[in-house]
Amino acid sequence: MLKYILILVFSISLLSSERPNIIIIITDDLGWGDVSYNGGPINTPNIDKLADDGLQMNRFYSAPTCSPTRAALFTGINSLKNGIIRPLNNPTAERYGLPLKHKILPEYLKEIGYQTALSGKWHLGMFSDEYLPRNRGFESTYGHLGGGIGYFDHALSGRLDWHRNGEILYEDGYSTTLIADEAIRIIENKNNETPLFLYVAFNAPHTPIQAEEKIINNLSDISDKKERVYAANIITLDREIGKIIDAIESKGILNETIIIFFSDNGPVFDIDPIAATIAPDILDSKGNTLGLKGSKGSAYEGGIRVPAVIYYKGILEKSLSNQFFFVDDILPTLFGALNINPNQNNITGVNRWNDLIKNEIKPPKNVMTGNVIVHDERALFNDKWKLYYRNFVYNENSEKIFELYNVNDDPYEKYELSEKYPDVFESMKKTFDENPLIIETPYINPVQSYLYGDRYIGITDSPWLERTYKEKELPHPIVQNLVFGWIIFLTFKHIIIPVLILLTLVFYFMKFRNNISSN
């Protein structure tokens, strides 16, 4: 009790004089088993130290993919209600962004006197200036705007995607290191009279999986080349996160800084086969969920339960929370810490600040997350129960799959319980049906993505920010059908080719047999 009284007094004193700095560090496709503090095989000592020093969030849930998570983070509205139901593609394939009607976190914080800065990945719109982060509350911006880049050439789909404050930037270096260096520069030059909101969004370990040769060469004990490069990528990520934490300490602002660390979704290792054909580069990833079912893109635990830490020295430290915490909870929870009211009635996230301080567990109540790619995959959480939903979006007659799990007792989702608990199952299905998607970005067109989607092919054209490109038009419907057929063939060729060979053999056997009979 005395501890909570002291914390309350400290918090009131702090809020009456100056507000804490807020530094959010988000990684890209880092899995539950990609950090060693969870028992993963890759050594991540700096992330581990942050987890040891801070509050480990044992039940932190993102959306299954990157743009939906980032949209939920900034709006406080979950990925099924803010309109961003899937990752955004490059502007030659489509032109969408986080709807401008949404007020987002840096805008709120800038209004109350925060310095606002972004270093790293945006991925919430780049096809026109009004969607750029510089025009959405960030005073300084640096990094890349699309979904992924080459780590050394900073290119996406043949064009340079690297900028400072919305202006094209030509710069050598490994992106993970450059993003951290910029974050450190911002911390070191922070105005002591102004609180800082710094959003550090690494592209690691998103595909294309690349790493510095000297790190790769130090991992000769890992026999598989792709696993070796993946480990080197994460080792560098961990090193650079350590440097950022060191910079916070060196600046002398650790005691007055809330640090939030998490991954935007689960790792890539068991991706939907059609999605893998549309975006083949993702197959180079070697992520790890330590047995959690599913991976990036999936609403099973492996796609949405991610490593996360919240650290506020003297307030949230050296402990572990089993509180179910969703990415859209970040905005209202921070506002709870700052004692401000966002005055928005469409926020779905929950203010968990006091729950985290007291380490009290408040069960989730009808909370949803998910995304729509090849499948519409969603998860509905209510207390210990999770209702999983999947539907193939390109066939209106496809089966709608519902599964019920007790994820408290069965985090690996081995035991489907809909028949054992029919009342719970039907009640959650009713809640699910009463909460339809809000769609601002249409479903992915697989042909469009296959022909024009994100690729990592070096630099062959002018930078994205020069905007010399045109949105590619889809071919004639007959050609689209042929391309879609080709996608299906490539996806299932390991089945189709043996079947065709078998049918051919049967045909010739029957023909031979008929010839024998006729003679």
Positions marked catalytic: 66, 123
Q: How far apart are CA 283 and CA 264, in angstroms?
A: 18
Which residues have CB under 8 Å from 345's CB, separation 6+? none
Which of 247, 107, 141 has its CA nearest to residue 190?
Answer: 247
Go through 473-498 and write b for each residue having 16 or more CB atoms within 10 A of its CB, e for each that does not.
eeeeeeebeebbeebeebbeeeeeee
185-191: Cβ within 8 A, 24+ apart: 186/117, 186/119, 186/140, 187/23, 187/244, 187/247, 187/248, 187/251, 187/253, 188/247, 188/250, 188/251, 190/21, 190/115, 190/251, 190/253, 191/115
- With beta carbons less than 8 A apart as the criterion, state whether 373 and 449 touch: no
Which of 20, 26, 56, 63 has its CA nearest to residue 39?
Answer: 56
Backbone angles phi, psi at 84, to 5 degrees: -95, 90
The terminus-to-terminus CA distance of the chain in angstroms comes to 99
For tokens 């290792």, the residue is 269
Which residues have CB under 8 Å from 516's CB, separation 6+? none
Q: How far apart are CA 400 and CA 484, in angstroms?
A: 23
Residue 26: how many CB atoms within 10 A of its CB? 24
Crossing angle of helices 66-75 and 330-338, in 10° steps, is 30
What tokens does 512 get?
């031979």
Which of 309, 298, 246, 223 has its CA nearest to residue 35?
Answer: 309
Q: How far apart are CA 222 and CA 225, in angstroms?
A: 7
**Over the Cα atoms of the chain, what is R_g?**
24
Q: How far apart are CA 478 and CA 483, in angstroms?
A: 9
| Host H or E run for residue 48 | helix 45-53
- Preceding peptide of 99 cis, ω within 30°: no
- With beta carbons less than 8 A apart as the criterion, state whether 91 and 64 touch: no
Backbone angles phi, psi at 68, to 5 degrees: -60, -40
Which of 28, 195, 13 has its CA nearest to residue 106?
Answer: 195
| Number of residues in the chain | 519
Q: How far apart are CA 230 and CA 288, in angstroms?
A: 11
